Structure 1
Amino acid sequence: ARPRPTRSSRSGIAAGEAAADEIIAQRYAATATGLVPIDGSGSPHSPPYTLPPGLGVHQPTPAPEFPAVTLPAFTGWSAVTPFALDSATRFRAPPGKIFKLNSLRYALEYEFVRYVGDARVRGGRPNSQASDIPRFWVGGGLDWNANARVVVANRGLGRWKQARLFALLNIAVSDTHVTNLESKYFYNFWRPVTAIRWAHDGNPLTRSDATWRPFLQTPPYPDYPCASTGMTGAAAQTLRRFFHSDALPFTRTVNAPATPLPAPLIELPPKTLTRSYARLTHAENEQAIGRVYAGIHFLEPCTAGLRMGNQVADWVYSRYLRPK
């Protein structure tokens, strides 16, 4: 049976709840200027996205299943006050090599995602690794609190150490998201669905397809760098720094939701997926390639996101919540 709370434990709970309420209030005030109405109308601090169509330029992505969320979101998130970073631009991603649309590098990444991320290809192989991986990681970087709980289990950490770890992890993840979105809207690089449907990109090695659809729903913001891998890199690097090791094996089961597919393919039903990792790096790399299998990212934005997350986590870990 659960022990009855004592007066001191009740006081501690009350203090924790009060602190949480204050943090939530402060964060709401700090993030309000970064919010944009879902209809894309903007706000005084977040003007609507108005860049005209052009080569390499992000545009609202077609989403027949979710027509209400196709307009670019989080356009003002770089105005959000980070928990730890002194500036949203401190770890801005460097320019991507695939920005050169007439390059061989761009053509290779284009053709790779055009094939492996095609909803028709993935839907035709519903039980392949390349179809299971993006469905397993459908939560993107938000999966890492759950992953960390599995990693931490049975390691004998007291509550204070666990609290410190999860605080560091979530500070790093949150600040990476601010930095990531600043970079996204600094570069405004297009998503695969826009690029592949574009008739003439100036590269003789690419082939357009006006009917192409990604395997998973394209998020409503620019491609470079990837936000999900940014959060993944931040969380994984925090765990590495805390435990002084990359060899932190974990296994996790996810109930993947149904996946809509274009006709004549039939929607993929929900699926229970279990995956295991011997090292955090393995999980990071799989999550990155999974965004390409999903058809929603080129590969370079995914690796750039991982590097950004690692950098932010190192900066946060070395400066905040240091043990006495």
Structure 2
Amino acid sequence: MQLHPFHRLFHRLRPSLLAILALAFIAAGLPAAQVHARATLPGIRVVPASAATATPAAAATPTQTAVAPALPAEDTATAPHADYHPSVVVLWNEVMLAAVRSGAPRPTVTARSLFMVHQAMYDAWSLYDPVAMPSLLPATLRRPTAEHTEANKAAAVSQAAYQTLMGLYGPYETQTQAFSRLLQTLGYTPATQPDTSPAGLGLLAARAVLEDRADDGSNAANNYADVVSHTFPELYIAANSDDPNAANGLFGVDFDANHWEPLRVPTGIMLDDLGVPTFDAAITTTYRIQSFLTPQWGAVRPFALSSGDQFRPPAPPQRNSDAPYTDALGQQMTNDAAYQMQVDEILHLSATLGDREKVIAEYWADGPRSETPPGHWNALAHGVAYRDRHTIDEDVKLFFALNGALFDASIACWDSKRAYDFVRPVTAIRYKYRGQMVQAWAGPNQGVQWILGETWRPYQDTTFVTPAFPEYTSGHSNFSAAAAAVLTEFTGSPRFYDGTTVLYNEDFNNDGLPDLLGQHVVAVGGNLFEDSPSTIVVLQWDTFQDAAGEAGMSRRYGGIHFQDGDLRGREMGHKIGMQAFAHAQQLWDGTLP
């Protein structure tokens, strides 16, 4: 069955829509069971405190009801894991991902925001643990053992998440009231003053994180605009022009094929004869000009990294250089030979794209209207928490380490992007093969054809084309390898897909069958970029590393990254993930020197 484009879009946005619908149903006063039946996420149930069963908190105050959310008794028999319900950590993570999906895709900003929210949750939780060290708050705030209850932990963590989200996503909250609704559904009210109650300590943790990150080098106060620093004493200026006819444009005498080119990207208001978005250079409303997204990010203060360049890889291959080069596979040749080989690999992949490669490219794309790679790995972690029936303690730790690693990956990756400013495949192929006919994917539903080299396009959304920042190294590879390292270390096993864990009430592809953890099934016509695949395609990842490797490779299938940008990114990401996990573990074990 071929899906109408609207239906394919709905399937991609479905997690965000379900989160919004769930909150809307709650606000309308529907019973928890109806909310669960109509709009739920993998293993997630939002249950009003009035329907919950819990032990009263040891230190409840009039500003909160310290009640841990629980499943209604009559509903437990229908769940695959009847004894499991998601912790408030997962609930707050999902409502945050809905906020992320509502905005522009900014992976660096998303990674920072996710870390801030989970750092605040961790610090609030740590005050109700006998050994954990807070990351920012003084350990002298630790509460007496008698107060170390699940209810108090849930109340403190929820308040920390709510207050941090309010500081980060105020406009989204104004539009949706999503955070306030979830807080109310869980049985809490906003805290206004820090004190020794769970709510007061949650507020204190949120304030500590927001204040600590106010001057971290991200320039958040100015919407993350570029800013000078000791690391980058000058603002970024692109070496090449978006105007192909300029001296330093694609066809100009001063064009540098080793450096990034900002693209002119169709806005979608002008279509060609095939209905594909295009633009007219004389009509500026038909396109937007890319600018390097957060070029200052390599100088942002990290979590566990010593600095943004701690794991900076060797330079990528340079066109027209006879200097020796060793690629990420250990192959030795000249810089120019490696450059030409890696450019031609992307062209070859474009000419041989099959349904499976297209599905892989789309599943991991994380472009417009998505949670970006950091959010994607958070969503995958929901399933792990569900499979392993995590407690609030386990979820606080997992998401703290995971997002610390993803945040550090964003900094290290952007350090290399700024340091090397390397060209994207779309530019390199158009430059190398301008005026020549090449065999490649010709556009949505056009298959593989002979086309002019300067018209080559990656397999991506036609109004996205290629991310607005340099190629080397791959963010997907960095983020995914870092996440896979944390998930492997935390769970004590590389296992992802087990063939049995069902994500309760989640049917992403609308095939009438429950989805399995570590697997993604795409129905006929289920892709977004074009009407493909022609047969059902099943993606399956036996290990977290398998998933990370496929995420990295997806960017080569999609025409976004070169071989070394992918593989060097994976190397960096693994080191970053291991280091971040070790640092987080020392904090929660209370062993940090």
TM-score range, shorter chain: 0.7 to 0.9
The reply on whether 1:275 has 2:275 as its aligned counterpart is no
Aligned match of 2:486: 238
Query: 2:221 & 2:235 partners in 1: Cα distance?
Result: 10
Q: Which residue of 1 aligns with 2:208?
A: 22
Larger radius of gyration: 2
Does structure 1 residue 251 correspond to structure 2 residue 518?
A: yes
- Structure 1 residues 276 and 69, CA gap change in structure 2 (3 angstroms): farther
In 2, Cα distance between the equivalents of 1:80 and 1:31?
5
User: Partners in 1 of 2:537 and 2:222 — Cα distance?
Assistant: 34
- Structure 1: give runs of 5+ residues left out of the alignment: 202-206, 260-266
User: Which of 129, 134, 138 is matched with 2:356 structurally?
Assistant: 129
Higher alpha-carbon deviation: 293-302 or 69-78: 69-78
Letter in 2 for 1:311: K
Alpha-carbon distance in structure 2 between the residues aligned to 1:241 and 1:105: 35
Distance 1:313 1:84 in 2: 9
- For the residue of structure 2 that corresponds to 1:63, the secondary structure is strand
CA contact (8 A) 1:215 1:294 kept: yes
Structure 2: unaligned runs, 5 residues or longer: 1-50, 61-65, 67-151, 156-196, 241-254, 269-286, 321-334, 367-371, 435-439, 441-451, 498-516
Give the AA of the match of 2:265.
A
Query: Which of 173, 177, 192 matches 2:425?
Result: 192
Indicate the SS of the match to 2:518.
Answer: strand
Shift of 1:200: 7.3
* 1:231-260 per-position Cα deviation (integer Å, ceiling 9, x unaligned): 11111001112223222323355998833x
Secondary structure, in 3 states, of the residue corresponding to 1:245? coil
- 2:237 — aligned with what? 49
Q: 1:253 to 1:130 in 2, by over 3 A?
A: closer
Please give the secondary structure, in 1, of the residue aligned with 2:344: helix
Equivalent in the alignment of 1:262 = none
Report the alpha carbon displacement of residue 302 of structure 1 after superposing the two structures with TM: 0.9
Matched pairs, number? 303
Contact 1:292–1:299 (CA<8 Å) still a contact in 2? Answer: yes
Between the aligned partners of 2:538 and 2:301, the Cα distance in structure 1 is: 37
How far off is 1:181 after superposition? 0.5
Is the CA contact 1:147–1:252 (under 8 Å) kept in the aligned structure 2?
no
TM superposition shift of 1:23? 1.4
* Residue 77 (structure 1) aligned with residue 302 (structure 2): no
Tell me, yes or no, if the aligned pair for 2:228 and 2:296 is still in contact at 8 Å.
no
C-alpha change, 1:159 and 1:35, in structure 2 (3 Å) is: same
Partner of 1:204: none
**Equivalent residue number for residue 313 of structure 2:** 93
Looking at structure 1, the residues matched to 395 and 336 of structure 2 have their Cα atoms a distance apart, in angstroms, of 47
Partner of residue 283, structure 2: none
- DSSP-derived class of the 2:539 partner: strand
Question: 1:34 and 1:209 mapped to 2: Cα distance?
Answer: 40
Q: Which residue of 1 aligns with 2:52?
A: 2
Matches of 1:180 and 1:318, distance apart in 2: 20
1:213, 1:186 → 2: CA distance?
Answer: 26
Give the RMSD, CA atoms, in angstroms: 3.3
Q: Secondary structure at the match of 1:68?
A: strand
* TM-score, L = length of structure 2: 0.46
* Larger relative contact order (Cα-Cα within 8 Å, sequence gap ≥ 6): 1
* In 1: Cα distance, 2:291 partner to 2:454 partner: 20
- Is the alpha carbon distance of 1:215 and 1:21 closer, same or farther for their aligned partners in structure 2, counting shifts above 3 Å? farther
1: CA distance, partners of 2:545 / 2:349: 22
2:349 counterpart residue number: 116
The Cα of 1:309 is off from its aligned counterpart by 0.9
The aligned residue for residue 454 of structure 2 is 210
Q: How far off its partner does 1:153 sit?
A: 1.8
Q: State the Cα distance separating 1:319 from its structure 2 match.
A: 2.9
Kept in 1, the 8 Å contact 2:485–2:577? The answer is yes
Q: CA 1:94 to 1:44, structure 2 compared with 1: closer, same or farther past 3 Å?
A: closer
Secondary structure, counterpart of 1:157 in structure 2: coil
Post-superposition CA distance 1:44-94 (Å, at most 9, x none)? 557242324313111213422484361222211122111222211111122
> Residue 309 of structure 2 aligns to which amino acid in structure 1?
T
Q: Of 30, 33, 45, which aligns to 2:219?
A: 33
Partner of 1:164: 397
- Structure 1 residue 288: deviation in Å? 1.1
Question: Structure 1 segments of 4 or more deviating over 6 A?
Answer: 34-38, 254-257
Assess, with a 3 A threshold, how the Cα gap between structure 1 residues 186 and 34 changes in structure 2: closer, same or farther.
Answer: farther
CA separation of 1:91 and 1:290: change in aligned 2, threshold 3 A: same
The aligned counterpart of 2:583 is 319
Mapped partners of 1:100, 1:32: distance in 2: 33
Query: Per the alignment, in what secondary structure is the counterpart of residue 275 of structure 1?
Result: strand
Q: 1:16 to 1:252 in 2, by over 3 A?
A: farther
Displacement of 1:35 in angstroms is 8.5
Give aligned-pair identity as a percent.
25
